[in-house]
Each structure stands twice: as structure tokens, then as C-alpha cells.
Structure 1
Amino acid sequence: MMFQFYILFSETLNKFYVGHTSEELDERLRKHLSSHSGFTAKAKDWKIVYSEKFTDKSSAYKRELKIKSWKSKVKIIELIKSSAG
């Protein structure tokens, strides 16, 4: 089983969402776009802008926490741009 750390972006909110999952990213995105009461329910234009794969949940979760600890949109944008290479 693979785990993924991912970043979503909503132009409407001009915000990033950072998470991790064991699901396929397309399926996870579909759930974010469906009717629910979480943070991503505030917009319907979320797009996957970055992801990394891991072999274990712990590593994916640690990566999520690391990125969230930055509390910096600028650093997240730099990470995304560096992967577009």
C-alpha cells in the first residue's frame, strides 16, 4: 500500500490545503469536492498542485506536519515550483 502527501489549491479562496492519504489522489480529491462540512467544503475548485509518495503512513503524515509547520504560503509555492522543474 502506498501513502501520499498532497497539496490542494483553491483559486476562489486563494488557499492551500495540505493532507495525506492512502487513497488514489483522484478519489481523495473527489471526496474533497463532495458535500461535507470540512475545510475544503468552502470551495468547489480545489486542484491537486503537488504530491509525494511514501511507503508508510507515518512518513506521509510527518511530511504533512512539516509543511503545515511552515505556516507560509511563500514556502509552499516555492516547493511546488521546485517540483515543476
Structure 2
Amino acid sequence: MSYYVYILYSDAISRYYIGSTQDLDNRITEHNSGETKSIKHGIPWRIVWSQKFETKSDAIKMEIKIKKRGAKRFLLEQIA
């Protein structure tokens, strides 16, 4: 089974959210339906980046790397 790391952005609060999941479409739906209480104040969230991984371990390593660096900085490095 594949795993995904993703970055969401909320225009409403001008913030990024970084996460990982096995079902990317379902997870984004959960975020935008308010099921994730910690970020429901930012609805609507839109996906700005995602990457697929073969193992959960690899996905978590990338998620941690992005969180340490910061989503905005990480994204700027991707386009440079």
C-alpha cells in the first residue's frame, strides 16, 4: 500500500498544514468537512503539494523533514 505526504494551505488563515496518510483524497475531504478539529478553523484547505511513498517509514521521514524546515521554505526549495 502507498503512503502520501501532503501540504495543505488555507487562504482563510494564511497557514500551511503538513500531514501523511494512505488515502489522500479521503483525508483532504476529512479536513474540509471539519472532522479534524485542530484545523477546522482554516476551512477550506487546498492541496499545494503531495508525494507518494512506498513505505510508511519513508513517508514519516519526509513529513518530519518538512515540518523541521517549514512548509513555505520547503515549497520554495522545490521550485528553485
Give the TM-score normalised by the residue count of structure 1.
0.82
**Gapped regions of structure 2 (runs ≥ 5):** none
One-letter amino acid of the structure 1 residue matched with residue 13 of structure 2: L
| Aligned residue number for residue 16 of structure 1 | 16
Identity within the alignment, %: 35
What are the ranges of 5 or more consecutive residues in structure 1 without an aligned counterpart?
A: none
1:52 matched residue in structure 2: 51
> What aligned pairs does 1:5-84 form with structure 2 within 5 A after superposition?
5-23=5-23, 25-36=24-35, 38-71=37-70, 73=72, 75-79=73-77, 82=79
For the residues of structure 2 that align with 1:72 and 1:66, how far apart are their CA atoms? Answer: 10
Deviating 4+ runs (over 2 angstroms):
35-39
Q: Report the TM-score, using the length of structure 2 for normalisation.
A: 0.86
Paired residues, number: 80
